[in-house]
Chain A
């Protein structure tokens, strides 16, 4: 079953799906599929693909590592398949949505925005969790110490003793990011949703 584990087989399996599905749908997608549903498919494909990549590269907790090596490429292939097949599905649905017109516009916009947030959160949370659990982020790290002893003297603040409570300063940039991100999202949603129906694309 060596052939079954080869990356080539995985990619071939994914490509086979492309050829087995109707060519017209492919053409439709490539020249004008809708993107809201595609965002969901794309998000799932991206998560699967990235998880697969972590597996192939051995960047998963030790006890999952052999599974990562074995199944990582299949996760990658599944991600690719979902992306392609999702494209066909989205193309078909997209045609209907275009007919619905204005009524679908708000939903479309909300889905796209929230989809971005979901993908963002899923990546940040999921991979950080995996990375922390596995400890792999601290492997092969000797090079990072070299920069501290390369003859270029660190700033005096590098020697400064931390005082109690100063760690709380970390919340300042965190809050700034959160507040700005919230208001940008809210502002965009507000602008989109208050458009009169006749002005919607």
Chain B
């Protein structure tokens, strides 16, 4: 089965396994959140006592970034690229091999990080051998994508294809450079190490997670509303601006730090420029939704997409704001930044992937989603839980930053105590999010095993309604 050549099987298998990694990754996240409230929770508990915050946190981030989101992105690429290219995936067999390879690799990530094998860099904690294997994984997926495009029958490239191709070309550069060229010993040290780390840490968001997520939205919106995307030209301006301005923004993570002042200024200026691509996406979103807002009442994928656009706006509103020196001096290193990262990765891109799965899976396995009610529960629990989560982190971050600045080093522990209510709210929100995902996985499982047959009476009817 894993090396099946059946059309759509690689995409389906990536979706199935990605949601499992999501549950595992989010469980570690919730565990880490609870540890912040009850630090001695697993003290003297056999085996679990080794699951300290320092080990659990990178397992959470890596499994969620590479296990869940990247796995779902591979599935999305394998689903959307053939449909945009008008030709089947180049090799389903290779695709299914990458599914197996990816699952083994994620297991390696989890085990080594829990053993404390950590390179000490944000989002790049895994050991160099696993990093090389990660590059191999990405290379295998990208080869499949590029060969599918090379064999395409559709001459013109839709905006989703541009975004996906952009990610395919830029991600390897970002990953290889940012991970110290995959060498066992760091060729780049000291402050330069931090600069390179944030070139990678921020750009993996900008050149991998953003383009695939935004590209998926451009694919989904017309499919969910029946309206063609409002302006293709505007979407292209947005795509090229994203490619142009994202690169130098990483150093805004080092504002007010011991890196060259000019580098910080450049990062701030380019961070503010990110407003432009975001503006294009949101304008196109509103334009495309025009006259179709009623569908929001009945379509859970659309609810997820619309919520993701709200969170995308807020993420990209916060981003330039917090890159400013005066704001950074308050919020840097605080829970505000943790909230910001979750706004992008959960509120925006994970929500987009939920919508994508609800849309794509029935078409891949020819079964309707098992329970519409569970879909609704999934949405509302995710939305309410996540809102509680990021609002508590955001307010907590401001309180934390104010405490630090006001007390300096005199009373640090008071600032920790002041965070307690926010940490509790964060854990409750996190539990709601995880609970929502467990319902989601159950629904997916039941869909795969007991879903009604999918009735797609008509792509043509869709075209007629849309006035094509």
Give A contacts to B, CB under 8 Å. 29-33, 35, 38-39, 42, 46, 50, 59, 105, 108-109, 112-113, 116, 119-120, 123-124, 127-128, 131, 136-155, 157-160, 162-163, 166-170, 172-173, 176-177, 180-181, 184-185, 187-188, 190-192, 194-196, 199-201
Can you sample 13 A-B contacts with CB below 8 Å? A33-B261, A35-B265, A109-B326, A124-B283, A147-B160, A147-B219, A147-B228, A153-B457, A154-B222, A159-B226, A177-B317, A184-B314, A191-B402
| Distance to closest chain B CB from A122 (angstroms) | 10
Other A-B pairs beyond A144-B159, A155-B224, A173-B306, 12, CB < 8 Å: A32-B261, A59-B237, A148-B222, A148-B226, A148-B468, A150-B154, A157-B225, A187-B394, A188-B321, A190-B398, A191-B402, A200-B405
Which 5 residue pairs across A and B have the least CB separation, nearest first? A158-B226, A166-B294, A153-B456, A109-B326, A137-B231
Q: How far is the CA of A187 from the CA of B390 in the complex (A)?
A: 14
Which residues of chain B have C-beta atoms less than 8 A from A105's C-beta? 326
Does B331 belong to the interface (CB within 8 Å)?
A: yes
B405 in complex: contacting residue of A173, A184, A199, CB < 8 Å? A199
B459 with A153: CB separation less than 8 A: yes
Q: How far is the CA of A109 from the CA of B327 in the complex (A)?
A: 7
Beyond A150-B83, A169-B297, is A191–B275 a contact (Cβ under 8 Å)? Answer: no
Which residues of chain A have C-beta atoms less than 8 A from B461's C-beta? 159
Closest B-chain residue to A34, C-beta based? B325
Does B130 belong to the interface (CB within 8 Å)?
A: no
Which residues of chain A have C-beta atoms less than 8 A from B456's C-beta? 153
B294 with A169: CB separation less than 8 A: yes
Interface string of B393-422 (1 = CB under 8 A from A): 011001001100110100000000000000
Closest B-chain residue to A171, C-beta based? B293
Closest B-chain residue to A43, C-beta based? B272
Q: How far is the CA of A140 from the CA of B296 in the complex (A)?
A: 29
B293 with A169: CB separation less than 8 A: yes
Which residues of chain A have C-beta atoms less than 8 A from B402's C-beta? 191, 194-195
Does B172 belong to the interface (CB within 8 Å)?
A: no
| Distance to closest chain B CB from A15 (angstroms) | 18
A33 in complex: contacting residue of B219, B265, B292, CB < 8 Å? B265
Beyond A177-B313, A199-B406, is A50–B296 a contact (Cβ under 8 Å)? Answer: no
Beyond A154-B224, A160-B298, A169-B297, is A112–B232 a contact (Cβ under 8 Å)? Answer: no
B232 with A187: CB separation less than 8 A: no
| Distance to closest chain A CB from B290 (angstroms) | 8
Which residues of chain A have C-beta atoms less than 8 A from B322's C-beta? 188
Does B448 belong to the interface (CB within 8 Å)?
A: no
B463 with A160: CB separation less than 8 A: no
A136 with B233: CB separation less than 8 A: yes
Closest B-chain residue to A32, C-beta based? B261
Does B84 belong to the interface (CB within 8 Å)?
A: yes
| Distance to closest chain B CB from A178 (angstroms) | 10
CB-based A-B contact count at 8 angstroms: 236
Interface string of B212-233 (1 = CB under 8 A from A): 0000000100111110111111
Which residues of chain A have C-beta atoms less than 8 A from B291's C-beta? 162, 167
Which residues of chain B have C-beta atoms less than 8 A from A191's C-beta? 330, 398, 401-402
CB contacts under 8 Å to A, within B435-468, are 456-463, 465-466, 468
Does B158 belong to the interface (CB within 8 Å)?
A: yes
Which residues of chain B have C-beta atoms less than 8 A from A139's C-beta? 233
Closest B-chain residue to A185, C-beta based? B321
Closest B-chain residue to A49, C-beta based? B273
Does B173 belong to the interface (CB within 8 Å)?
A: no
A128 with B283: CB separation less than 8 A: yes
Does B431 belong to the interface (CB within 8 Å)?
A: no
Q: How far is the CA of A103 from the CA of B315 in the complex (A)?
A: 31
A201 with B329: CB separation less than 8 A: yes
A195 with B294: CB separation less than 8 A: no
B158 with A146: CB separation less than 8 A: yes
| Distance to closest chain B CB from A104 (angstroms) | 11
A144 with B229: CB separation less than 8 A: yes
Which residues of chain A have C-beta atoms less than 8 A from B283's C-beta? 124, 128
A158 with B324: CB separation less than 8 A: no
Which residues of chain A have C-beta atoms less than 8 A from B408's C-beta? 199
Which residues of chain A have C-beta atoms less than 8 A from B297's C-beta? 166, 169
A162 in complex: contacting residue of B224, B294, B405, B406, CB < 8 Å? B294
Which residues of chain A have C-beta atoms less than 8 A from B276's C-beta? 50, 123
Interface string of B128-141 (1 = CB under 8 A from A): 00000000000000
B459 with A42: CB separation less than 8 A: no
Does B201 belong to the interface (CB within 8 Å)?
A: no
A148 in complex: contacting residue of B232, B307, B330, B466, CB < 8 Å? B466
Which residues of chain A have C-beta atoms less than 8 A from B226's C-beta? 148, 154, 157-159
Closest B-chain residue to A105, C-beta based? B326
Which residues of chain A have C-beta atoms less than 8 A from B293's C-beta? 162, 166-170
Which residues of chain A have C-beta atoms less than 8 A from B256's C-beta? 201
Q: How far is the CA of A138 from the CA of B234 in the complex (A)?
A: 9
A154 with B462: CB separation less than 8 A: yes
Q: How far is the CA of A173 from the CA of B237 in the complex (A)?
A: 24
Q: How far is the CA of A128 from the CA of B234 in the complex (A)?
A: 10
Which residues of chain A have C-beta atoms less than 8 A from B157's C-beta? 143
Does B30 belong to the interface (CB within 8 Å)?
A: no
Does B183 belong to the interface (CB within 8 Å)?
A: no
Which residues of chain A have C-beta atoms less than 8 A from B325's C-beta? 35, 112, 201
Q: How far is the CA of A173 from the CA of B303 in the complex (A)?
A: 10
| Distance to closest chain A CB from B322 (angstroms) | 8
Does B268 belong to the interface (CB within 8 Å)?
A: yes
Does B333 belong to the interface (CB within 8 Å)?
A: no
| Distance to closest chain B CB from A162 (angstroms) | 5
Beyond A145-B468, A173-B306, is A153–B462 a contact (Cβ under 8 Å)? Answer: yes
